[in-house]
Amino acid sequence: MAVTVTDATARSGKRRGNEALLGHRGEEGSSTAWSDERVAFACECDRSGCSETVWMVESHFRRVAQADGVTLVALGHAGPGDHVIASTANYLLVSRD
């Protein structure tokens, strides 16, 4: 069965997956809200089939998730319409117009 997934859908789907990952962790230890532990998040770029893993400190990701329109991607995975707003040794944070 062929399923057509648009770029935007793929991106938001990955974000939901990453947030769900944190949701599960939150349930395990609700008293410790934001940990400084590194978690393997899914790259949220638009490349279809991208399965890159991005290691990021949980508390940093939660701040990214709260910022409107900011996307976490692996190094080199910024799309043509993306503006890199932060660059680290492990990942890029990008925003779109």
Contact residues: Zn ion, CB under 5 A: 43, 45, 47, 50, 52, 74, 77
Q: Which is nearer to Zn ion, 52 or 62 (CB)?
A: 52
Task: Determine which helix (DSSP H) or strand (DSSP E) holds 40, and give its type and residue range.
Answer: strand 38-42
Q: Which is nearer to Zn ion, 43 or 58 (CB)?
A: 43
- Minimum CB–partner distance for residue 24 and Zn ion (Å): 22
Measured between alpha carbons, how far is residue 74 from residues 20, 81, 82, 87 in Å? 19, 16, 13, 10
- Minimum CB–partner distance for residue 33 and Zn ion (Å): 28
Supply 89's token pair: 């040794």
Q: Which is nearer to Zn ion, 41 or 60 (CB)?
A: 41
Torsion angle of alpha carbons 49, 55, 61, 65, nearest 10°? 0
H helices of 35-96, where? 58-66
Q: Which is nearer to Zn ion, 58 or 94 (CB)?
A: 94
- Minimum CB–partner distance for residue 52 and Zn ion (Å): 4
Task: Determine which helix (DSSP H) or strand (DSSP E) holds 82, and give its type and residue range.
Answer: strand 82-87
- Minimum CB–partner distance for residue 19 and Zn ion (Å): 17
